[in-house]
Copies of this chain bind each other. A is one copy, B any other.
């Protein structure tokens, strides 16, 4: 099947009729018409064979699912509703393309455009656009002294089908001063939030540990699709308090040991 044939196949199966998408796959650009009072948020993540997954440990479908999950988790961290995806895929073998997109489409997010190419190894770049009411995006830089720090679930396990916490965006938007996802590891991402907010924290409890994981893994392991949230109001289930934000030298009192791609 040639490039045009594959694109036609993708176009027919894509959940493309998302709100605001005036022109989807097939022109030089996709066209999106913002609604009034809407801020748009954008995230982009590479997912690379040998780096973020290996074959045949992952099926093409699992790669498609997970490449999307990484971006969806970033949207959840901003308390944003998914609007559309743009997906660039480079593969050694065109047979990878269809099952990959089946995994992508299981997220039920509109596909507005993308690019197909060849490469020696599978490279995926997923861009996701989400929507928040004007001024209501939850940043990582908003934590204030007195806020409680929460994580949204047990940590420490790599998963092939992680579930980004879109179920929590209403709670986060209504309560949080700051939020971020912790896919680079809680210790590193906590440090980033506290640095961005110009504050530090006291740790009040260990993070919840996933069955089969250790405390060390829960703190430093990375690839957790839960949220880290700073909230002035108490948050109930599924949130677990791990600390309290205080004034002081910005950054985490714990040594950050998460994931750095160039270290």
Chain A residues with CB under 8 Å of chain B are 1-4, 6, 22-23, 26-34, 36, 38-46, 48, 50-51, 74-75, 77-78, 80, 86-88, 90, 94, 112-121, 123, 125, 127, 129-130, 132, 134, 137, 139-141, 180-181, 196, 260-263
Distance of A80 Cα from B32 Cα, bound (Å): 12
Q: Contacts A48-B90, A261-B3, A263-B3 given: A137-B31 contact, CB under 8 Å?
A: yes
Most buried by B among A42, A43, A75, A139: A42
A180: nearest residue on chain B (CB-CB)?
Answer: B28
Q: Which of B34, B74, B117, B118 contacts A28 (CB 8 A)?
A: B74
Query: Which of A74, A261, A263 has the most CB atoms of chain B within a 10 A radius of its CB?
Result: A261
In contact, A40 and B31 (Cβ under 8 angstroms): yes
Query: Which residues of chain B have C-beta atoms less than 8 A from A121's C-beta?
Result: 119-120
Would you give 15 A-B contacts (Cβ < 8 Å), ordered by A?
A3-B260, A4-B260, A23-B137, A27-B141, A30-B41, A31-B137, A34-B39, A42-B127, A44-B86, A44-B115, A46-B88, A48-B117, A48-B118, A50-B120, A127-B127
List residues of chain B with CB within 8 A of the CB of A48.
90, 117-119, 123
Of B3, B40, B77, B90, which one neighbours A46 at CB under 8 angstroms? B90
Q: Establish whether residues B46 and A117, one from each chain, have CB atoms under 8 Å apart when the complex forms.
A: yes
Residues in chain B near residue A75, CB distance under 8 A: 29
Assuming the contacts A2-B260, A260-B4, asked whether A181 and B34 have C-beta atoms less than 8 A apart, the reply is no
Report B-chain residues with C-beta under 8 Å of the C-beta of A36.
36
9 tightest A-B CB contacts, nearest first: A125-B125, A34-B34, A29-B41, A28-B77, A28-B74, A3-B262, A29-B43, A46-B117, A44-B86
Bound complex: CA of A41 vs CA of B40, how far in Å?
Answer: 13
Decide if A42 touches B32 in the complex (CB within 8 Å): yes
In the complex, chain B residues whose CB is within 8 Å of the CB of A77:
28-29
Instruction: For A117, list chain B residues within 8 Å (CB).
Output: 46, 48, 51, 261
Q: Known pairs A29-B80, A51-B117. 9 more at Cβ < 8 A?
A: A27-B78, A31-B41, A31-B137, A32-B41, A42-B112, A44-B113, A46-B90, A46-B125, A51-B90
Which residues from B are CB-within-8-Å of A1? 262
Do the beta carbons of B118 and A43 come within 8 Å of each other?
no
Complex Cα–Cα for A72 and B77 (A): 30
Closest chain B CB from A186 CB (angstroms):
15
A40 touches B45 (CB 8 A): no
Cα distance, A165 to B125, chains bound together (Å): 26
